[in-house]
Structure 1
Amino acid sequence: MDWDRDGGDWPNREASQFIAARPHRWHVQVMGEGPDLLLLHGTGATTHSWRDVLPLLAKHYRVIAPDLPGHGFTKLGRHNRSSMEAMAEDCWTLCDELDVAPHAIIGHSAGGAVALRMAQIRQGPATVIGINAALGDFDGPAGFLFPMMAKALSMTPFVSLAFSQLTTRTGGVARLLDGTGSTIDARGRKLYARTVASAAHVEGALLMMAQWSTRAAREGLPGLKIPVTFLAAENDRTVPAKVSRHAATQAPNGCYISMGRLGHLAHEEDPNLAVRLILDAIPQT
């Protein structure tokens, strides 16, 4: 995605800045004052996923929301830095560059796994909050075949461009969104369509899927002593709520909270509910 072409009406544009933190050139939105909250979106999303949540949280905290490597306006510095482990490490590098010390890390979907891994590899956050956290790997042969397919696609010239164009022209974006179990507003649907129209963004998502494994985050749950809250929607067709229910039993201070009959994009469907639950879960400083 190109900021000059696509960033003119980007949600919360006034909070955007670009930061070089090795090995990437990051697009980051920073808003508010107070203790730091770090927001991490999921695979295939960008900061636009937090468009309504960010300003609400910024009434109470300084909120930092980056586009993950290869996503949105963040330029991927190295193609082998799209795994959960690498993203967790690189997000800490970004925090160091910005002089950010997250009091809480909130992650949606794959961002929830990255948030957990960040807290496992470095002490600092008082809590982690996952919204429909994607902590399950593919079972059986799919656990081998799907990453291999995603890797092959991401390395094939013009595949990202072809996928982007095909999905945009055939109504594929609407089908992808409907498949999440969520109903989001027209603006949100247009923003997802705009991101999918970017071949670079699609390549970033494919690289993330190709390198993805949540095993380290799952295995590290029993050793994570800080409070961990798993918010999950019962109509999530992407990451079943049972994934979060199980994860909450593995963390010594884990807590599961249902978001009712929302879908995978619950924080976009009902940002007021999401913010209320997030604020309730953050320890007071």
Structure 2
Amino acid sequence: MAVRDERLIWARDGVDWPNRDLSRFIETRGLTWHVQQAGHGPLLLLLHGTGASTHSFRDLIPALARDYSILAVDLPGHGFTDLPPFYRLSLDGMARALDELLRTLAAKPAGVVGHSAGAAIGARLALDRAIRADLLISLNGALLPFRGAPNFLFPAIAKALFLNPLTPRIAARRASPKAVARLIRDTGSHLDERGLDLYCRLMRTPAHIAGALGMMANWKLQGLARELPRLETPIVFVACDGDRAVPPADGATLAGRVPHGRYLEIPSLGHLGHEENPPRFIELIRSEMRHAGGRTA
């Protein structure tokens, strides 16, 4: 059995998935996507980070849907969305695939909220003029390459692991609740039992592990870093001071490089701050969108 066939099954694994009643499956060229849609008004596109899924925004979606239309997606190879070929798990490949999804849905986001690697995808879409949003909100955005040797070694290691068909299966078998809790703590975050259980389910799924590894192996940010100074879309770099996955200083650095960038720091939270304290981020997103002007509410 191929790794891509060892995936989450909606009829089995989606029975109690967060916001299940909002879920749809959309076909585009070569991919079946899991998306969640809700609300009315200006459209907010929610993009999760590497290794996550729509569940990452489980508490934000119902609250934000009171003021906005919401489109949250499982990125390719993540959650309930198909695992594509290796080369399509790059930043450019992800952006092109998402552009096709948005065209299929005739969706025109007024705002993009991207967590971690999701922020890079949002920026890439804006730079390519695939979207014309009023605002990008980067939540602990991973938009800069690793420094020094990790910049070269980490993708190579991830690629080697991805290309070994046994790796995702072995990693899935080792994804015990304790191991997953330790991984989350290493990012500087502390989740409740529900949050840990959802990540545990994802990490026990070989196809999801393969998607995350393939994304990390393909994730080259040098080009994006060079192009960000020509980003015309206003962007808010939100960083949690306890983030151990992405240095908070990256957001401050980037805010000084882009024409319409601002930096906001949130105390006492880690890389998954929007899951640790949803009300704080719901209010932040509403406030930033209110001040963005244009099509926003």
TM-score w.r.t. the length of structure 1 is 0.97
CA distance in 2, matches of 1:22, 1:144: 32
SS at match of 1:204: helix
CA shift, 1:236, in A, is: 0.4
User: Are 2:128 and 1:130 equivalent residues in the alignment?
Assistant: no
- The counterpart of 2:195, out of the listed 183, 188, 198, is 188
Q: Which whole-Å deviations, capped at 9, do the CAs of 1:100-155 have from their partners, x for residues lacking one?
A: 00101110001011111111101511111100001222222222221111111111
| Structure 2: distance between partners of 1:70 and 1:20 | 14
Q: Which amino acid aligns with 1:11?
A: P
Q: Is 1:81 the counterpart of 2:68 in the alignment?
A: no
SS of 1:130's equivalent in the other structure is strand
User: 3-state DSSP class of the match of 1:128?
Assistant: strand
CA distance in 2, matches of 1:131, 1:23: 30
Q: Does 1:277 align with 2:287?
A: no
Residue 166 (structure 2) pairs with residue 158 (structure 1)? yes
Whichever residue aligns with residue 152 of structure 2, its letter is F
After the TM superposition, which of the residue ranges 32-41 and 73-82 deviates more from structure 2?
73-82
SS of residue in 1 equivalent to 2:136: strand
AA matched with 2:220: S
Distance 2:205 2:58 in 1: 19
Unaligned runs of 5+ in 1: none
Instruction: Say whether residues 1:263 and 2:270 are aligned partners.
Output: yes
Deviations 1:183-225 (A, max 9, x none): 1111001100110010110000000000001223222221112
* AA of the residue aligned to 2:149: P
Q: Corresponding residue for 1:103?
A: 110
CA shift at 1:280, angstroms? Answer: 1.5
For residues 78 and 240 of structure 2, what CA distance do their matches in structure 1 show?
24
Runs of 4+ residues over 6 Å off in structure 1: none
SS at match of 1:235: coil
C-alpha distance in structure 1 between counterparts of 2:30 and 2:239, whole Å = 33
Distance in structure 2 (CA, Å) of the matches to 1:121 and 1:225: 11
Q: Return the alpha-carbon distance in structure 2 between the equivalents of residues 58 and 4 of structure 1.
A: 26
Taking the aligned partners of 1:136 and 1:220, their CA distance within structure 2 comes to: 11
The Cα of 1:276 is off from its aligned counterpart by 1.1
Letter of the structure 2 residue corresponding to residue 83 of structure 1? S
With normalisation by structure 2, the TM-score equals: 0.93
Q: Quick one: which amino acid aligns to residue 234 of structure 2? A: P
SS in structure 1 of the partner of residue 256 of structure 2: helix
Does the CA-based 8 Å contact 1:25-1:76 persist in structure 2? no
- Choose the corresponding residue for 1:168, options 170, 176, 179: 176
CA distance in 2 between partners of 1:140 and 1:239 (Å): 15
- Residue type matched to 2:150 in 1? A
Task: Give the total of aligned pairs.
Answer: 284
Residue segments in structure 2 that go unaligned for 5+ positions in a row: 1-7
Alpha-carbon deviation of 1:182?
1.1
**Deviation of the 1:92 alpha carbon:** 1.0
2:235 is the counterpart of 1:228: yes
Contact kept? 1:25, 1:77, Cα under 8 Å: no
Instruction: Find the aligned partners of 2:112 and 2:253 in 1 and give their Cα distance.
Output: 20
**Equivalence for 2:155:** 147
**Aligned CA-pair RMSD:** 1.1
Separation (CA, whole Å) in 1 of partners of 2:41 and 2:34: 21
Q: Is the 8 A contact 1:28 1:65 kept in 2?
A: yes
